[in-house]
């Protein structure tokens, strides 16, 4: 019981002190306000929030009885401790939780866990945009448009440039796309037809060959020097050989047949001083 009494007494004192403070504070405010209004225009009426702790009358009555406590030299705790401090033990740490989940995923997957499980989260930062940057981007855009126009201008003709923008449309769009892809390194053209009847393909090839022949013939007749005919050479592939089979020649009917090419290749490697020692085993 003594403990509770002590608490009540402390609160009592605090209430009294805070009341005193409030009064002082109000006076000072009024003074300041008057001085301000004398110099400037009158202020609006402000309502101060009442933050007094409630004083329970029954407690007062109870406490008035024991004066011994009031006269004890312990003055209670300081003002700061009177405030209720709220501590939140936040167990569900969002970032940590996510990390743990990631780690669980990595560890419990079917792959052997890698050494670097914890990796710092990378946050993409939006680069600050300035007027300079904007100008730069627009310049780049224009540059690209110009480049394209220069490269693809031969696709444009008078009939198809009806639209206001210079962007290719319809068939020319497909052609332009093909050009761009080839520029980026595509091996085959988009427009090349993959499947067609054999007769058609033969016809196309024959036509192309015929055109080439006539071109050359006309050039010779007119005395124009043309480029040399390039012989299409096929890259030599290494043959897939079975396990345990000899790595050179043909093994057929119990005899290993070496072609002259094979013999040359063997001799060549010997002349080079056996530098490629364990290369082919």
Partner 1 sequence: MAATPAPTALKFTGSKYLVQRLVLATLTGRPIRISQIRSRSHTSPGLAPHEVSFLRLLEALTNGSQIEFSYTGTTVLYKPGLITGSAAAGYGAQGGVIRHEIPAECGRGVSYFLLPLCLLAPFAKAAVSVLFTGPGVITASTEAGDVSADTVRTAILPLFKDFGVERDLELRILRRSNAGRDGKGGGGEVQLVFGHQVRLPKTVHLMSAGRVKRVRGVAYSTGVAGANNARLIEAARGVLNEVAPDTYIFSDVSSAPFVPAPTRENPAAKRKTGLGFGLSLVAETNTGAVYSADIASPPAGGEPPEDLGRKCAYQLLEAVEQGGCVSSVAAPTFLTLMAMGSEDVGRVALGKEVLGSEQVVQLARDLRAFGMSGWGLRDGDEEDEVVVSVVGKGVGNVGRKIV
Binding site for partner 1 (CB under 8 A): 100, 103-104, 107-108, 110-115, 241-245, 247, 281
Radius of gyration of the chain measured on its C-alpha atoms: 47
The CB-of-101 to partner 1 minimum distance in angstroms stands at 11
The CB-of-239 to partner 1 minimum distance in angstroms stands at 11
The DSSP code for 75 is -
187 vs 281 by CB, closer to partner 1: 281
d(CA 126, CA 5): 61
The CB-of-99 to partner 1 minimum distance in angstroms stands at 10
5 vs 248 by CB, closer to partner 1: 248
Whose tokens are 């067609």? That residue is 196
151 vs 241 by CB, closer to partner 1: 241
Q: 256: helix, coil or strand?
A: strand
80 vs 94 by CB, closer to partner 1: 94
How many Cβ atoms sit within 10 Å of the Cβ of residue 12?
20
The CB-of-118 to partner 1 minimum distance in angstroms stands at 9
Burial of 45 (0-12, 13-18, 19+ CB in 10 A): exposed
Whose tokens are 């480049």? That residue is 147
């Amino acid at each position: 019981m003594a403990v509770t009494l002590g608490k009540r007494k402390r609160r009592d004192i605090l209430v009294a002190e805070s009341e005193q403070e409030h009064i002082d504070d109000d006076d000072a405010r009024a003074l300041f306000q008057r001085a301000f209004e004398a110099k400037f225009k009158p202020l609006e009426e402000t309502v101060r929030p009442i933050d007094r702790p409630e004083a329970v009358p029954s407690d007062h009555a109870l406490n008035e009885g024991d004066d011994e406590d009031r006269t004890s030299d312990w003055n209670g705790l300081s003002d700061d401790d009177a405030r209720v401090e709220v501590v939140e033990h936040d167990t569900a740490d969002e970032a940590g939780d996510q990390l743990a989940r990631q780690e669980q995923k990595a560890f419990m997957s079917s792959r052997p866990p890698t050494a670097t499980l914890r990796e710092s989260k990378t946050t993409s930062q939006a680069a600050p945009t300035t007027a300079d940057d904007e100008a730069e981007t627009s310049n780049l855009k224009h540059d690209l448009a110009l480049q394209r126009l220069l490269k693809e201008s031969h696709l444009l003709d008078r009939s198809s440039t009806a639209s206001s923008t210079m962007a290719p449309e319809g068939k020319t769009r497909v052609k332009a796309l093909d050009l761009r892809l080839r520029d980026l390194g595509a091996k085959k053209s988009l427009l090349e037809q993959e499947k067609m009847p054999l007769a058609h393909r033969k016809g196309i090839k024959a036509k192309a060959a015929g055109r080439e022949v006539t071109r050359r013939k006309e050039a010779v007749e007119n005395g124009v020097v043309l480029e040399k005919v390039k012989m299409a050479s096929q890259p030599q592939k290494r043959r897939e050989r079975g396990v345990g089979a000899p790595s050179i020649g043909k093994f057929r009917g119990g005899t290993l047949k070496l072609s002259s090419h094979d013999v040359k290749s063997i001799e060549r490697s010997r002349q080079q001083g056996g530098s490629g020692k364990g290369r082919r085993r």
